[in-house]
């Protein structure tokens, strides 16, 4: 079996997401969970940037348009959070597109 990419960092991020869920439960707006995760990442010393612009590339050329994922953690993992009953193909495609058009290699989609 192949090694997981950024295993320890991914585990820490997902653990922080579960901590927020355990504390808050479900039913809040995405912005509430965003703020809670910012607090939790700080408590767990997980380096992050929230809602910061990410460069998009086409054929090696940087575009004027930028993506703004919910979080970039450890300067190498995109975390996109959702507050929906069920994740859809569009949600998965959003993260896939982030990875395809940027320099990042790992994206986590949390609901």
Question: What residue ranges do the domains of the chain occupy?
Answer: 7-110
* pLDDT(101) > 90: no
Residue 4's pLDDT is: 83
**pLDDT 10s digits, 52-100:** 999 998 998 999 999 999 999 999 999 999 999 999 999 999 999 999 9
The whole-angstrom separation of Cα 104 and Cα 56 is 10
Residues 72, 95: Cα–Cα separation, whole Å:
12
DSSP assignment of 16-74: HHHHHHHHH-S-S-HHHHHHHHHHHHHHTT--EEES--EEEEETTEEEEEEE--SEEET
Task: Answer whether residue 1 shows pLDDT above 60.
Answer: no
* pTM listed for this prediction: 0.91
Query: 34 to each of 4, 68, 70, 74, 80, how far by Cα in Å?
Result: 26, 13, 7, 17, 10
């Amino acid at each position: 079996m192949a090694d997981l990419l950024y295993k320890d960092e991914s585990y820490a991020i997902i653990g922080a997401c579960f901590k927020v869920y355990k504390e808050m439960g479900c039913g809040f707006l995405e912005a509430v969970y965003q703020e809670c995760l910012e607090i939790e990442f700080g408590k767990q010393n997980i380096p992050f940037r929230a809602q910061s612009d990410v460069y998009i590339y086409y054929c090696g050329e940087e575009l004027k348009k930028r993506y703004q994922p919910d979080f970039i953690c450890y300067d190498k993992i995109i975390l996109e959070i959702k507050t929906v009953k069920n994740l859809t193909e569009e949600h998965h495609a959003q993260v896939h597109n982030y990875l395809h058009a940027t320099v990042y290699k790992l994206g986590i989609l949390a609901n």
